[in-house]
Chain A
């Protein structure tokens, strides 16, 4: 999907370049050798234990294995673990850099906590859920919370990257505030809603930190499979020695250790954690906070998206899209009348008329002072202007007709027909009058965001249905739905209707995602499998949802789906690759291993590797280097094209399945040639 995603313009964009990250990551790679940390990646723990064993074996001379070779094998086993650790550290680094820069502001922050009728200064870190604090202009809000008194402008640039301050006030849908954002005017009384360690920021950090991260359900399942495969290969390798002894041979332990490590799925085992962290980091960079990885993964599985019309599918304001002349009126006159009737109108609709006319042709705009604007009033339901002794008005059809003292039947038939057509197409007709004469009509309509239709088409290809939710009447709703290309529509929507729809979809076994901001969205957000709340929405919505968008941009839901899918595909692709690799490794190691027992098995040495020693070393080197080679892919994620499942599967099977079988044949041979050339074996 290639729809525009908003790039955060945050003041403190952290350094995420490779240069800034690799040094700390390198250090972390060694710190992570601690088995207590490594036990989260069981496959890598096995590699580390094998590396320890092999290191010990370097000091025990074995027949047929030179110490030099044993040392090299041991070293490469250690490298395998280090490379995997490095991948994880690198993935962590990017997310952490951003989190740290956010967190820096909160160090040593104090807050005025309300105690009885008094306020008392305490450290922000001591605030608990339910505490009430007062924040003045110029101060940072000490934690996530809800405004219970006051109104103020708040600069949320630190979190959202948006520099324009937003209004936060008690009650209503704009009462939630985020920690570390700055009050720039007035004051607020804020009730804290998060204990230390549970705030938005803490959640963000927890998602991108390997040691604290909670594994997602698919990751847990995959982990079990990897442990199972490792166990099978452990049995395979462990039984080889008795089999070889029966045949009158003896296999060096170092070789068996090398065989074990090359067979167990180290590629995916080493990169699994990095993939998960990098996926969450992509979300963080989209300014979406996930409360759990589970929701992100569920986003990849979603069948139905419930999208609010306003703000997601359309711009949210009705805009002028056409003018219709009354019979006998000159086009220029209509344009002039419409312009003058809208000049003083500061509403979005009024502005859109002016914009529309300007875009059409250059029009002379009279000086603003000369125009006496007539603002919209509830009494007349008209707006307009008096200029140069003439008066121009525009408004809803019946209001203008009333202003003109005209009956609906008295309207020129051609114009009446056009007005009906506008209404039927889901638009809003406004009439323009001037000097007690009807000039024509303005066609206002909800404008669908550019590119959204294509995006829905892509989603449809991925098997995701979009449902538009709107409070409009069914007629208007259907017109916009057709234009935007959604699959279904809920018109005259109420929160109950939304909830009902989610439940009925779920009863059919479907997963539903939605976004919302109002307090009345909370039940639906909680019911949905993936609920994305807007950061500027209510605290209730933010709590009910499992994802929060800091930019309050509902189209983000589409990006979240994308990230979820990429996460799953990347894991699947590397698992397949890892298992497919084993075929070539067998062909490298088995003939080498059994050379002393059954020389005829040399026929299996299809790669024509130089010697048993070089074969074993090449396999283990390839096994370690492939992890490094795949780090970029793990961090970036495998791209998911819009296509049906069969073509996605065919493509990925070809690349990662067939590629996984062939690549090591080439790689191991090359390394073998190189090792021999350098004289290491």
Chain B
């Protein structure tokens, strides 16, 4: 690695971690309706939204009402987006006269954006009109992370409150998350990106004559705003087909750094918001430490693996500074590896290199990150609530060993909570293992796999992992746009989203109703190095035990073949 690579990694950590305590506190205050910097500006707008929609912002919902509101909102979003994609041919803002999408693709894409996955079985500039991008997808890019954030605060309230039925109001949480959280940050990032040269226009694609005299159509569009939210909202659905490897999406080194940091900005800050909810920032520091440990391990392994020369070329008389196949020379090995680890730690589907071309181990890390359920920072809200589930599992597994009924922050974990926890534990194995087993054993769907043997298996495994984990990044090389995969990956995405959300809201409701036992030296310690170690090992153990056999048949076998 060279000096600028270290500089990039250092700058990245500073940009992510330095604002986190401040931003976390701001988000907490904003979500709880307390006064913030932006309140004078945004509160009239917020109130207007409630008046328009007839929402009583003081009315608390119990978990079932909260979940019903969320389901209703998601269903409405899904149907609207599905309709827009089917009918884009007759809708406005379609200068290229693009036709409506085939129905399984429209379903897959609608599910993908509503669940904050942003899996793209289509190529943006070739298939979607400006209307579909700006009205259909961009709206979901905002509200789907806002939903994640809403669930996180509802869950945090469940842990923090005692003997309470309510866990907040979904409509209020959704509104505040969008208005106070995502909009202002996106505005800033979009302007920065425009400054760096990302296009932001509703004009037709540009026509150019090349030096050789050929005609070339250069796709344009309202890209900067879309890219800002795709990064900040851990979405990842690129404006252009090759995503952040495209020079219009990611024109400079600075834009690359900004886009990278934007992915983890909110997820890192939310860890501190949680600490404010439970009035104990030590909890935040412990969770953050665990996330950082897992992140640094993954990054270290990937950087090492990608700096190895490509073994397939080892016999040839060429000097290799690392494996450059599938990587943008503008970003190099470090910039690509950092991007891959960051996006898969979070639930961001954007790519600036082809993960398919990574070395076997370099490709294993992103896959394993996703298999853990994307809890290393993770998606907006979703990452931390996934992490909190692991915290509860660690507490339950080891909690008995101090001679008390397991308790997290004074809340007892009993049969009901464990049942719900187990339900969430089953999501990844069902989505990843069962669905990809289905995909590889049927001859038709298996034909989408473009490589033989272990690498081919990795392609399918990656696709279903990405879908279930609501990540959206693709391994490339996997022909995902077939009716079978469109439907099955759509199912995986729905499972990965609601298989977590519904049990989590139920746990939130059940914890909120409980009494809170006093915390002292004899409560289970959920901060400090001991707990950080326990939590880290629990995550690795659960992920490892579930996926080691599958990984052995994919990237491990591929790696060990050389």
Q: Which residues of A contact B433 (CB under 8 A)?
A: 235-236, 239
Q: A158: CB under 8 A from chain B?
A: no
- Shortest CB–CB separation between residue B279 and chain A, in angstroms? 15
A545-585 vs B, CB cutoff 8 Å, 1 = contact: the mask equals 00000000000000000001110110111011001101100
Interface size class of A (residues with CB under 8 A): 35 or more
Q: Which of A238, A603, A650 has the most CB of B within 10 A?
A: A650
Given contacts A583-B541, A600-B560, A604-B552, contact A221 B403 (CB under 8 A): no
A245→B418 CA distance, assembly (Å): 35
Of the listed stretches A3-11, A45-53, A223-231, chain B binds: A223-231
A276→B534 CA distance, assembly (Å): 26
- Shortest CB–CB separation between residue B242 and chain A, in angstroms? 29
Partner of B521, one of A228, A243, A246, A463: A463
Q: Could you list which residues of chain B lie within 8 angstroms of chain A, going by C-beta atoms?
A: 162, 396-405, 410, 413-415, 417-419, 421-422, 425-426, 429-430, 433-434, 436-438, 440-441, 446, 453-454, 456-457, 515-518, 520-525, 528, 530, 534, 537, 541, 544-546, 548-550, 552-553, 556-557, 560-561
Given contacts A297-B405, A572-B398, contact A246 B446 (CB under 8 A): yes
State whether B552 touches A601 (Cβ < 8 A). yes
State whether B403 touches A569 (Cβ < 8 A). yes
State whether A224 touches B422 (Cβ < 8 A). yes
Q: Which residues of B contact A297 (CB under 8 A)?
A: 405
Given contacts A243-B457, A645-B525, contact A572 B401 (CB under 8 A): yes
State whether A601 touches B557 (Cβ < 8 A). yes
A235→B506 CA distance, assembly (Å): 25
State whether B434 touches A569 (Cβ < 8 A). no
Q: Which residues of B contact A568 (CB under 8 A)?
A: 400, 403-405
Residue in A closest to B432 when the chains form the complex, CB atoms = A239
- Shortest CB–CB separation between residue B418 and chain A, in angstroms? 4
State the 9 A-B residue pairs at the shortest beta-carbon distance, nearest first: A463-B522, A572-B400, A228-B422, A565-B403, A572-B401, A600-B560, A239-B437, A652-B401, A242-B441
Residue in A closest to B393 when the chains form the complex, CB atoms = A225
- Shortest CB–CB separation between residue B551 and chain A, in angstroms? 10
27 interchain pairs, CB-CB under 8 A: A225-B397, A225-B418, A225-B421, A236-B433, A240-B549, A242-B441, A243-B437, A243-B457, A243-B550, A247-B553, A297-B405, A301-B405, A509-B515, A509-B517, A568-B405, A569-B401, A579-B545, A583-B545, A586-B548, A590-B552, A594-B553, A594-B557, A598-B561, A603-B560, A645-B525, A648-B403, A649-B525
Given contacts A239-B433, A300-B403, A509-B516, contact A217 B414 (CB under 8 A): yes
Partner of A221, one of B418, B456, B521, B537: B418
Partner of B400, one of A218, A242, A583, A644: A218
Residue in A closest to B420 when the chains form the complex, CB atoms = A224
- Shortest CB–CB separation between residue B261 and chain A, in angstroms? 35
A225→B522 CA distance, assembly (Å): 24
A598→B457 CA distance, assembly (Å): 13
- Shortest CB–CB separation between residue A590 and chain B, in angstroms? 6
Q: Which of A242, A575, A652 has the most CB of B within 10 A?
A: A242
Q: A57: CB under 8 A from chain B?
A: no
Q: Which residues of B contact A423 (CB under 8 A)?
A: none
Residue in B closest to A585 when the chains form the complex, CB atoms = B545
Residue in A closest to B523 when the chains form the complex, CB atoms = A645
State whether A569 touches B400 (Cβ < 8 A). yes
A582→B454 CA distance, assembly (Å): 24
State whether A646 touches B426 (Cβ < 8 A). no
State whether B430 touches A235 (Cβ < 8 A). yes
State whether B403 touches A462 (Cβ < 8 A). yes
A239→B550 CA distance, assembly (Å): 9
Given contacts A224-B419, A652-B401, contact A582 B425 (CB under 8 A): no
Given contacts A303-B517, A583-B541, A590-B549, contact A462 B422 (CB under 8 A): no
Q: Which residues of B contact A579 (CB under 8 A)?
A: 397, 541, 545
A239-266 vs B, CB cutoff 8 Å, 1 = contact: the mask equals 1101111111000000000000001000
State whether A247 touches B403 (Cβ < 8 A). no
State whether A645 touches B524 (Cβ < 8 A). yes
A649→B529 CA distance, assembly (Å): 12
State whether B530 touches A650 (Cβ < 8 A). yes
Q: Which residues of A contact B404 (CB under 8 A)?
A: 300-301, 565, 568, 645
Q: Which residues of B contact A31 (CB under 8 A)?
A: none
Q: A318: CB under 8 A from chain B?
A: no
Residue in B closest to A505 when the chains form the complex, CB atoms = B518
Q: A220: CB under 8 A from chain B?
A: yes
State whether B548 touches A590 (Cβ < 8 A). yes
Residue in A closest to B412 when the chains form the complex, CB atoms = A301
A589→B49 CA distance, assembly (Å): 59
Q: A510: CB under 8 A from chain B?
A: yes
Q: A232: CB under 8 A from chain B?
A: yes
Q: Which of A568, A576, A604, A645 has the most CB of B within 10 A?
A: A645
Q: Which residues of A contact B553 (CB under 8 A)?
A: 243-244, 247, 594, 597-598
A236→B436 CA distance, assembly (Å): 12
A511→B412 CA distance, assembly (Å): 12
State whether B429 touches A232 (Cβ < 8 A). yes
- Shortest CB–CB separation between residue A509 and chain B, in angstroms? 4
Given contacts A236-B549, A240-B549, A463-B520, contact A221 B525 (CB under 8 A): no
State whether B530 touches A575 (Cβ < 8 A). no
Q: Which residues of A contact B525 (CB under 8 A)?
A: 645-646, 649
Given contacts A239-B437, A582-B545, contact A640 B425 (CB under 8 A): no
Q: Which of B399, B400, B421, B438 has the most CB of A within 10 A?
A: B400
Q: A86: CB under 8 A from chain B?
A: no
Q: Which residues of B contact A640 (CB under 8 A)?
A: 403
Within 8 A of B (CB), among A439-475: 461-463
- Shortest CB–CB separation between residue A541 and chain B, in angstroms? 27
Q: Which of B457, B523, B545 has the most CB of A within 10 A?
A: B545
State whether B521 touches A225 (Cβ < 8 A). no
Q: Which residues of A contact B561 (CB under 8 A)?
A: 598, 600
A604→B556 CA distance, assembly (Å): 10
Q: A508: CB under 8 A from chain B?
A: yes
Q: Which residues of A contact B522 (CB under 8 A)?
A: 461-463, 644-645
Q: A656: CB under 8 A from chain B?
A: yes
Q: Which residues of B contact A625 (CB under 8 A)?
A: none
A221→B510 CA distance, assembly (Å): 15
Given contacts A235-B429, A598-B454, A646-B528, contact A656 B441 (CB under 8 A): no
Given contacts A239-B550, A601-B556, A653-B534, contact A576 B398 (CB under 8 A): yes
Q: Which residues of A contact B530 (CB under 8 A)?
A: 646, 649-650, 653
A572→B525 CA distance, assembly (Å): 16
State whether A221 touches B557 (Cβ < 8 A). no
- Shortest CB–CB separation between residue B468 and chain A, in angstroms? 13
Q: Which residues of B contact A572 (CB under 8 A)?
A: 397-402
A232→B543 CA distance, assembly (Å): 11
Q: Which of B402, B410, B430, B530 has the most CB of A within 10 A?
A: B402
A222→B415 CA distance, assembly (Å): 8
Within 8 A of B (CB), among A126-177: none
Q: Which of A573, A575, A600 has the most CB of B within 10 A?
A: A600
A505-532 vs B, CB cutoff 8 Å, 1 = contact: the mask equals 0001111000000000000000000000
State whether A227 touches B422 (Cβ < 8 A). yes
- Shortest CB–CB separation between residue B420 and chain A, in angstroms? 10
Residue in A closest to B553 when the chains form the complex, CB atoms = A243
State whether B429 touches A509 (Cβ < 8 A). no
State whether A246 touches B520 (Cβ < 8 A). no
Q: Which residues of B contact A244 (CB under 8 A)?
A: 553
Partner of B401, one of A263, A462, A580, A648: A648
Q: Which residues of A contact B398 (CB under 8 A)?
A: 572, 576, 649, 652-653, 657
Q: Which residues of A contact B456 (CB under 8 A)?
A: 246
Q: Which residues of A contact B516 (CB under 8 A)?
A: 509
Q: Which residues of A contact B421 (CB under 8 A)?
A: 225, 228
Q: Which of A243, A569, A573, A657 has the most CB of B within 10 A?
A: A243
- Shortest CB–CB separation between residue A583 and chain B, in angstroms? 7
Residue in A closest to B429 when the chains form the complex, CB atoms = A235
